[in-house]
């Protein structure tokens, strides 16, 4: 059993790929308003909000536990892909590396979008469980952001 792993999953949403990507790319600080039971805050730690060298500190709840994550995002606007690289916080107590990649794709029929998530990680040791709870968290955040966009359209 290897220490490196990858989890892929998809969520269909009703909002457009552009709208969904925009909130995650440019308005990430709104997520605590959109999904307050999961995300308590997203704070700018270093740099400018929209720059790739920015470092953000997340306070979130996973399986009833308050956690933090410090991340730096890589941006691919042309393909609507964001890569959240975890560089600090609770995740690094169990993982050597952890990244969440989100790609937003417009559906060909023009109705809604497909959000593809990939979690890539390397465990510190064999005793660390796969981060399956993060699938539920990302699905919840995706659905909450979609509902927010639809209700505020």
The CATH code that applies to domain 4-151 is 3.30.530.20
What sign for the dihedral angle of Cα 108, 29, 33, 11?
positive
**Per-residue pLDDT tens digits of the chain, which is 153 residues long:** 579 999 999 999 999 999 999 999 999 999 999 999 999 999 999 988 888 889 999 999 999 999 999 999 999 999 999 999 999 999 999 999 999 999 999 998 888 999 999 999 999 999 999 999 999 999 999 999 999 999 987
pTM: 0.94
- 85 vs 133: CA distance, rounded Å: 18
Over residues 20-44, the pLDDT tens digits come to 999 999 999 999 999 999 999 999 9
Mean confidence (pLDDT) of the chain: 95
Cα 103 to chain center, whole Å?
A: 10
- Boundaries of every domain in the chain: 4-151
């Amino acid at each position: 059993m290897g220490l490196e792993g990858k989890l892929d999953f998809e969520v269909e949403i009703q909002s457009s790929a552009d709208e969904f990507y925009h909130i995650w790319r440019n308005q990430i600080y709104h997520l605590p308003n959109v999904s307050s039971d999961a995300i308590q805050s997203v704070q700018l730690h270093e740099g400018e909000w929209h720059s790739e060298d920015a470092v953000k500190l997340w306070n979130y709840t996973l399986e009833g536990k308050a956690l933090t994550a410090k991340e730096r995002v890589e941006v691919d606007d042309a393909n609507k892909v964001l890569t959240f690289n975890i560089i600090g916080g609770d995740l690094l107590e169990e993982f050597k590396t952890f990244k969440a990649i989100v790609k937003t794709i417009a559906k060909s029929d023009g109705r809604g979008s497909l959000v593809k998530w990939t979690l890539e990680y390397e465990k510190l040791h064999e005793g660390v469980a796969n981060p399956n709870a993060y699938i539920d968290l990302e699905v919840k955040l995706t659905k909450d952001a979609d509902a927010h966009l639809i209700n505020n359209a």
